[in-house]
Amino acid sequence: MSQRPKPGFVTQQTVRDQRRATIIRVVITAIVVVVGVAGVMFVLSQRGNDTDDTNSEITQPPSDAFVDGAGIAFGATDGPVRIDVYEDYLCPACAAFEELSGETLRDLADSEQATVVYHPITILDSRSPTQYSSRAASASVCVAEYNKDVWPAFQEGMYADQPQDLGPHVELRYRGLRCIAWS
């Protein structure tokens, strides 16, 4: 008799080889999944920690441009109406609001029918690799502190040059002011 198994007959060695191959595939797949999940969790945890605690306390410089140390004010200091505008220079909706209402707000402030207080905020920093919102808000406060009269033109220029593409290099531009940040 021949030592060869009949066709369709499975030997114990074949069963062991198939079982070993299956176990190896399962272990390799599990390792890949665990490493992938760990990588995703690491990336997500790093995104959540992007805030810089060194800027958590912002102090406003003493200036007549600010009301209650909280915003850039125009119009009568004790006007009959106070309008507070919160704006992020990276926000398309803020730009649309400024385009629609900016002139009216300036007219109300100029005629002293209202006190208009602008609050630069940074709600869209997470969408910018260069923290454009924070840099633009800081520049806005600097302009108001050193020359409040040019601040409305600065604000208008910031919205006119609002970046559309948030690539790794975003410039903050306004006439003589040019700040470049690389991520």
pLDDT value of position 172: 52
Cα(145)–Cα(88) distance, rounded to whole angstroms?
18
21-69 confidence digits (pLDDT tens): 999 998 898 888 888 888 877 777 776 554 554 444 544 444 555 655 6
Cα(181)–Cα(175) distance, rounded to whole angstroms?
17
80-134 confidence digits (pLDDT tens): 888 899 999 888 888 889 999 899 999 998 998 888 899 998 888 887 788 888 8
pLDDT value of position 148: 84
pLDDT value of position 171: 53
pLDDT value of position 11: 78
Close Cβ partners of 65 (under 8 Å, ≥ 6 residues apart): 72, 73, 144, 145, 148, 151
